[in-house]
Structure 1
Amino acid sequence: MEMSKESQGPFGPKVGKGWPVMGLFFVLAWMPAIGWGVVHSDLPTWRMWTLLALLTLYAVGYLVLPFLLWGRPVRNRLFAIFAHLGVGIALVIGLGLDSMPLLIYALAMASFALPTRPMLMINGGTLAGFAVIILVTSPVHGPWSSWVTLISITGCLSAMGRMLHVNRRLQEAQAEIAALAVSGERARLARDLHDILGHSLTTITLKAGLARRVLETSDDRDRAMGEIREVEELSRQALGDVRATVSGYREVSLSGELVGARAALRAAEVAADLPHAVDNVRPELQQAFGYVLREGVTNVLRHSQATRCEVRLGENWLEVRDNGRSSCAKVTSSRDSGGGNGLSGLADRVAEVGGTIEAGPLPEGGFSLRVRVGEIATGDQPEDRTDSVVQRRTSQVRPSVGLA
């Protein structure tokens, strides 16, 4: 059974080739010093050897588990990570609470190998449990500094794990969009060429055959020449149709972008509320709105952490909104948006049809990107829920400002 993208972890089924070196570096940076301290302590022999065995098992698990777990079902990874964490907790209990930062190795494994919910449960439960132990045993003079160190590093590792996970899902969504686009456009081009050329080539074949028979059976050269001239005209017409088809194949269409947006949002596990037709949009605006839709959905996937995306269309307006983070940082990204990307590129495209771009957070949370051309007719007005903190006319957008 194929695993879901969420179950595969941020790195997918394979671990990078650099992990043995990097993992060994992290192990050698600290664990040998812990072992040295255990050997030269006054602990009983049985306890010393037990701690050394636990330390060795803990280090080996940290190095080996990534190769064994990545790409496995979540339940298998949960079992192994619980076992590794149990070894770490036993080691901390044996060494003392001051050694709590040793748990970073196990919690890092959970941060990078597990989906968000089980990761938060394991990491949060471990941190909360040790906080309770400190409060019970020594609330004033307890090793709070070690606990703060552990929670700080764990928080950073958890954020890195989520970022890698989201980036991988975005790459998969982009790859799926590209594959769907290539497959769909190939099928459309084949269909269009068949429809356009089928009749023309059939007619050319019939008329060429007729001209041949006329020349073979009679001396009616005028009739034969008329048929040949019609063949020539049909050939030129077919060539023009092919060129028009290829030109259309390279253009952006609003309906095609809706299909791509639906596939991208589905791949990223974002609930999509999209229109099923674009007939209500003025034909001369559909190409420009196609670029707006593409950019808006890309920003939902890259920046918003949204779980829902809505697209609304009218005769001369389009709106993309989500329920993610309502941050203006999405609008004021410092990346150069040359080549038609970002808000500046959208502004140029919309300016060609005399339109306006408005972007900003929604009062109830989320973000809205809206484009309109001219005045919106009564009854066709989109729901006005933006906070108007970011509102730019296309003629005033600077090239250095981008959405993506």
Structure 2
Amino acid sequence: MDDDRPTRLDRLGPFFASIWLFFLLNPLLEAWAHLDEVRGVVGLVATVAFAASYMTLWIRARADRRRLIDTPSVRFAASYLSPLVVLTAVMVATLGEQGLTGVVYVAVSCVMVLPGRAALAVVVALVVGALALSAVEDWGSQVGLAFAVMASSVAISGMRTVMRRNLELLRIEQENAHLAVENERTRFARDLHDILGHSLTVITVKAELAQRLLDIDPARARTELADLERLSRDALSDVRHAVAGYRDLTLPGELTRARNALAAAEIEARLPGSADEVPTELRELFAWTVREGVTNVIRHSGAGCCEVVLTPTSAEVRDDGPGRGEAGVPGSGLTGLRERAAAVGATVVTRPLDPGFSLRVVRA
């Protein structure tokens, strides 16, 4: 669950549950009528303690369900049901027939916290016991009590079934959320490796080469160091974009995305292993070129193979499809690409191949 803070309905839940304690009014009045006797005092104390125990059980069971616990442990169930049973016996012994009201609450409590079969067995036993009490002198028929036990147990059982299904849905949602997070972590780790893996390898090789050239060829060593600085800055920029959620604006990220998209479309992908030779100022433009070109290949070409070629001054996406030519009215993607290219002094060139189609962005 995304938010475990109690809602207004959650806070009012105990109040609504306490309304059902109204039926304990009869044993309370009976105890009050005999308050001058020991049995009246004991009955009053037992009834109040019974109400407190029942509400404690209800609140605890409700809290367990918020933690996605459907059936509490046997120890928990026994720790709360035992006092209710004992207090009911005390109420019956001191208040007589009026004390039997506690039997209904015991049945409801059993349905709330016991497994289905155990709760059913207890409810059946209580119904049989209530009917057997009809033979007790001056108590009369207890059919009404037996009916109350059955009706309340069925109602709570239905409510618990609904709650159980809701808990199952919540567990499934939490599991799906967990899997989504794990999948996203895996994807991000894979993409980060694709973005940085080759760049860091090249940086390491160039650093070793520059160190060897320091005494042999200082001029070339300085060139390698300058290239090393550029590569490290580009790698850092790519990581920042990826972490910030702008992976779609980095060239290594677009190459990774293109590889996955082409594989999903069952198109053979021939992509460069790295983008290290592309100057910093052209990397974003070439990323948009790869995105636009590969998207069009997947949507329109019907190709079996797509190739991306990168040079320090150009990016080209070509396929071996039937040959689309350039549409009479360029799409918004191609129009936007031309605008981006013009901003850095580059041009967009589209041409049919035999077979296939080529989208190329080049800066002279």
Please indicate the TM-score interval, normalised by the length of the shorter structure. 0.3 to 0.5
Q: If you compute each CA radius of gyration, which structure gives the higher value, 1 or 2?
A: 2
- Greater relative contact order (CA < 8 Å, ≥ 6 in sequence): 1
Larger helix fraction of residues: 2
Normalized against structure 2, the TM-score is what?
0.47
- TM, length-normalised to structure 1: 0.43
